[in-house]
């Protein structure tokens, strides 16, 4: 080992010393390297070579954890220092080269996974993009289900009441070889649909909302035996009831029927096992989709939309002049019944219903109106709605005057763009991301207080509104017609 030259100081910036340090780090044991760095240069931890790399960069790349921790703890190495070529930190390098043990150590010492390189890629971005581009996931591939969040109502299905701060595998499905293709989480129960068309539920069973014939609490998902003779294709659920669609186009409902949302005639107080929905208006028609809100249920065929439940303005009908507060059996929404209208999809919240036609028109059912909020938004593949203000007069004991939330509608198209409409805007506009790089989405989720997005590369994001920007000012007293919504994306990696 060489001795520190007399002219070397703690402020040494010698390129020659830097190159010698980098060359040495590629060979020798970690103990030998510690001795070399101590004796070779006073500033060995901070020197940068021609590519802007430091000893910490090399230690992270080569998996030399002991050396890495020594540099951090005894030499105050710059944890967030970036190289010149890519703008990578030591965390980027440890992730790229698969040195996970070094990555964990860097995080424990305060390293940030959100730090971005010159291309706007964080450490987690690099991890996700490491998947070979030729790998394609199909809907029939084996799946695993992870849940997290508040578990006070046993809705996470982990067999206990402990909440989860991070995604955790639901081992009940993993152990039994059940592959899930759709999940619906509600306040008191959760519904899971398998690739083979079986329905599983768990949570609190008041009113039979989980369909097992009783009102017990189920800590882990259990198969709904009353649907075993059918191949189920879609499920929907709200706080107190569950709706199931079979491949034959039949609809089954179960749970509390406080607002006639089950669509059963004569209306029972509840249904603890699945009951088929019969209606003269649906005779001879095949239902292709279902949606559910706390107070109502939505069914649709290719040529019509049918709703039932408490009529607070979200069913698509006027207030009944005879004082009827609810619709017991599915009734067709006449405003959407035209020969040139073909229904593609619909969604429901507690206080609103949104419908998309195959021609790309988007309609909102709220406040006893059927309002078109977008035209020719072609290739929409998913639509969601939250909020809405129901007419408190139909249920004064439960609804408050002026209560409810503003309506928000999110739509995802085939190109991965997300569009939004809010009560304060005039038309549906594309969302802009307040994020360092361009992203395209493959799936979206919306709740009362939050949004989640999954990109085409399999990255997961939570989104929050950061504001609305009016690009052009209209005449005084008139709202701008060109509004862009900005969403801040907060990175979440699903493991």
Residue boundaries of the structural domains of the chain = 15-129, 146-427
- Do 15-129 and 146-427 fold alike per CATH? no
pLDDT tens digit string along 266-287? 999 999 999 999 988 888 899 9
- Residue 91's CB is within 10 A of a number of other CB atoms, namely 24
Q: Are 242 and 201 in contact (CB under 8 A)?
A: yes
pLDDT tens digit string along 397-417? 888 877 778 899 999 999 999
Q: Which residues, 6+ apart, have CB-to-CB distance to 424 below 8 Å?
A: 406, 468, 479
Compute CA distances 46 → 39, 54, 80, 82, whole Å. Answer: 15, 6, 12, 12
Question: What is residue 284's predicted lDDT score, i.e. its pLDDT?
Answer: 86
The token pair that represents 23 in the structure block: 């060359």
Supply φ then ψ for residue 422, to 5 degrees: -125, 160
pLDDT tens digit string along 348-369? 999 999 999 999 999 999 999 9
- Which of the four pLDDT bands, split at 50, 70 and 90, describes residue 339? confident
Of 81, 80, 65, 8, nearest to 33 (Cα)?
65
Question: Which uninterrupted H or E stretch holds 289?
Answer: strand 289-292
Alpha-carbon span 40 to 47, nearest angstrom:
12
103: helix, strand or coil: helix
Q: Are 264 and 256 in contact (CB under 8 A)?
A: no
Rounded mean pLDDT, 298-313:
95
Alpha-carbon span 452 to 460, nearest angstrom:
7
Question: What is residue 492's predicted lDDT score, i.e. its pLDDT?
Answer: 46
Q: Which residues, 6+ apart, have CB-to-CB distance to 467 below 8 Å?
A: 486
CA 99 to chain centroid: 29
Compute CA distances 374 → 18, 357, 363, 386, whole Å. Answer: 61, 10, 7, 17
Domain 146-427's class?
A: mainly beta
Residue predicted with more confidence, 45 or 417: 417
Q: What CATH number belongs to 15-129?
A: 1.25.40.20
- Residue 96's CB is within 10 A of a number of other CB atoms, namely 18
Of 448, 465, 373, nearest to 405 (Cα)?
448
How long a stretch of residues is the chain? Answer: 495
Q: Which residues, 6+ apart, have CB-to-CB distance to 206 below 8 Å?
A: 188, 215, 240, 256
Of 328, 324, 317, nearest to 280 (Cα)?
328
How much is the pTM?
0.78
Of 239, 226, 255, nearest to 292 (Cα)?
239
Do the bridges between strand 483-492 and strand 429-433 make them parallel or antiparallel, or are there none, so unpaired? parallel
Question: What is residue 476's predicted lDDT score, i.e. its pLDDT?
Answer: 40
CA angle 53, 59, 61 (to 5 degrees): 80
DSSP string across 296-340: EEEEEETTEEEEEEE-SS-SSSPPPTT---EEEEEEE-GGG--TT
424: helix, strand or coil: coil
Of 411, 414, 416, 412, nearest to 456 (Cα)?
416
Residue 494: pLDDT over 60: no
pLDDT tens digit string along 73-107? 888 888 889 999 899 999 999 999 999 999 999 99
DSSP string across 11-74: T---HHHHHHHHHHHTSS-HHHHHHHHHHH-TTTTT---TT---HHHHHHHHT-HHHHHHHHHH
Lowest model confidence (mean pLDDT) among 112-116, 159-163, 400-404: 400-404
Question: What is residue 459's predicted lDDT score, i.e. its pLDDT?
Answer: 77
- Which of the four pLDDT bands, split at 50, 70 and 90, describes residue 449? confident
Question: What is residue 467's predicted lDDT score, i.e. its pLDDT?
Answer: 63
């Amino acid at each position: 080992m060489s001795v520190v030259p007399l002219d070397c100081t703690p402020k040494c910036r010698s390129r020659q010393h830097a190159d010698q340090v980098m060359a040495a780090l590629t060979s020798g044991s970690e103990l030998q390297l510690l001795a070399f760095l101590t004796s070779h240069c006073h500033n060995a931890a901070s020197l940068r070579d021609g590519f802007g790399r430091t000893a910490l960069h090399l230690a992270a790349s080569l998996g030399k954890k002991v050396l890495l921790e020594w540099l951090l703890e005894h030499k105050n190495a710059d944890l967030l220092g970036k190289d010149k070529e890519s703008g990578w930190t030591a965390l980027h390098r440890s992730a790229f080269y698969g040195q996970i043990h070094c990555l964990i150590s860097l995080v424990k010492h305060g390293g940030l996974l959100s730090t971005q390189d010159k291309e706007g890629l964080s450490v987690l971005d690099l991890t996700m993009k490491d998947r070979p581009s030729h790998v394609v996931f199909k809907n029939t591939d084996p799946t695993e289900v992870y849940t997290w969040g508040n578990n006070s109502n046993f809705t996470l299905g982990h067999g206990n009441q402990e909440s989860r701060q991070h995604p955790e595998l639901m081992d009940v499905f993993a152990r039994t070889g059940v592959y899930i293709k759709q999940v619906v989480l509600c306040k008191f129960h959760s519904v899971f649909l398998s690739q083979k068309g079986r329905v599983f539920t768990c949570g609190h069973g008041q009113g039979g909302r989980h369909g097992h014939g009783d009102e017990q609490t189920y800590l882990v998902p259990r198969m709904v035996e009353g649907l075993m003779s059918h191949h189920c294709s879609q499920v929907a659920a709200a706080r107190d009831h569950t709706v199931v669609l079979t491949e034959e186009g039949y609809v089954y409902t179960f749970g509390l029927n406080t607002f006639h949302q089950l669509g059963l005639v004569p209306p029972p107080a509840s249904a603890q096992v699945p009951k088929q929905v019969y209606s003269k208006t649906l005779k001879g028609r095949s239902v292709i989709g279902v949606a559910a809100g706390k107070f109502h249920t939505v069914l649709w065929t290719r040529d019509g939309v049918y709703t039932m439940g408490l009529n607070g303005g979200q069913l698509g009908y006027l207030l009944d002049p005879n004082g009827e507060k609810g619709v017991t059996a599915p009734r067709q929404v006449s405003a959407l019944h035209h020969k040139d209208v073909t229904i593609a999809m619909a969604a429901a919240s507690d206080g609103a219903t949104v419908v998309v036609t195959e021609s790309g028109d988007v309609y909102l059912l709220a406040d006893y109106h059927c309002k078109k909020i977008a035209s020719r938004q072609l290739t929409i593949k998913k639509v969601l709605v939250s909020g809405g203000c129901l007419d408190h007069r139909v249920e004064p004991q439960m609804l408050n005057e002026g209560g409810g939330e503003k309506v928000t509608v999110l739509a995802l198209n085939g190109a991965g763009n997300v569009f939004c409409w809010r009560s304060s805007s005039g038309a549906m506009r594309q969302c802009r991301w307040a994020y360092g790089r361009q992203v395209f989405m493959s799936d979206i989720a919306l709740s009362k207080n939050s949004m989640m997005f999954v990109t085409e590369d399999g990255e997961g994001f939570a989104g929050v509104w950061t504001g609305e920007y009016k690009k052009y000012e209209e005449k005084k007293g008139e709202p701008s017609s060109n509004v862009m919504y900005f969403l801040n994306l907060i990175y979440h990696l699903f493991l």
